[in-house]
Structure 1
């Protein structure tokens, strides 16, 4: 079985417990991070027998580029302090990658590989915020291999 997640600025999260043969994938945008989609996937994996879960956080818009209204930033940062950030030009922003990393740590996921690549800063990555309707999607795939 293979799972796929598609994004164009949101945070793609792939998860696996190779020994248990359990995988998970999450599309973690602002609302998904707020709603706890990543901890829910980890909990579901654990209910299926996953123990030592490894996670990969893929390319996404970074806190230097993800400008949001101050109230929106503050609302999420009240729940997950590392989510609060400031853009490189000094306006309120969110660091969803850091927020996902914190959520993974809270669920006991110790092995996290974070591809620190910003979709807005790199022309070789799709970005909905940068390219609007012309943006394609990035895909992450995780698979159990028998």
Structure 2
């Protein structure tokens, strides 16, 4: 069910699912009934006690939504909450989960961000951190989930140049010597500038058959990065 899971502070857990949990996305042609059943099984495995993860309609932008209570999935690429469990879906893009201490004792600030190539270039992660801090978050830490690595993500030379002009840490070369982008390195660089502690950085999706990868199979599903508080 989980590729990686940890209680990262008392009462708060972060996890990333694996392909064994099944596709969790409604937009890839899967039967919605099956998708919702998998999400429910995931919520049971996480011990949410009847609560649900808030998913979002991801569009490769940099919009951040604050989620007070569970509702219809917002059209956004990042969400922040003060307790509502959150989920971000990926299959090569960078799933970023963040946690900060909130202004109210024992009520942390949670966040997730979907950082694909457009999101890294448009600073979706810095926008997420800014929203967290606007809600009083301090001592923010981040977990970068599995995503395609710079040695595997081939792009045209002009695309590499355009993204690297915005975030130089993304410049890379594939293992076969062609232009590439290292999106996880770009996210790590952005977090460092923001003085956000990096607690975990995951493996390459393309190199691991236990993870969904769009570059391996364009008809693939989506796994999730998750953050939630315990009852």
Q: TM-score of the superposition, structure 2-length normalised?
A: 0.60
Q: 2:171 matched to which residue of 1?
A: 84
Instruction: State yes or no: 1:12 paired with 2:95.
Output: yes
Gap regions ≥5 residues in structure 1: none
- Which structure has the higher relative contact order (CA within 8 Å, separation 6+)? 1
Structure 2 Cα separation of the partners of residues 145 and 44 of structure 1: 23
Q: What secondary structure sits across from 2:139 in the alignment?
A: coil
Q: Alignment RMSD, CA only?
A: 1.2
Equivalent residues in 2 for 1:130-141, closer than 5 Å = 130-133=216-219, 135-141=220-226
Q: What secondary structure sits across from 2:99 in the alignment?
A: strand
Higher helix share: 1
By how many angstroms is 1:110 displaced?
Answer: 2.4
Q: Which has the larger radius of gyration?
A: 2
The CA deviation string for residues 29-59 of structure 1, in whole angstroms up to 9 with x for no partner, is: 0000011000000000000010100100000
Structure 2 Cα separation of the partners of residues 145 and 103 of structure 1: 29
Gap regions ≥5 residues in structure 2: 1-83
Q: 1:61 matched to which residue of 2?
A: 148
By how many angstroms is 1:19 displaced?
Answer: 5.3
The answer as to whether partners of 1:11 and 1:59 remain within 8 angstroms in 2 is yes
Count of equivalent residues: 144
The answer as to whether partners of 2:102 and 2:135 remain within 8 angstroms in 1 is no
Structure 1 Cα separation of the partners of residues 130 and 102 of structure 2: 17
The answer as to whether partners of 2:150 and 2:180 remain within 8 angstroms in 1 is yes
Which consecutive segments of 4 or more residues in structure 1 shift more than 2 A?
none
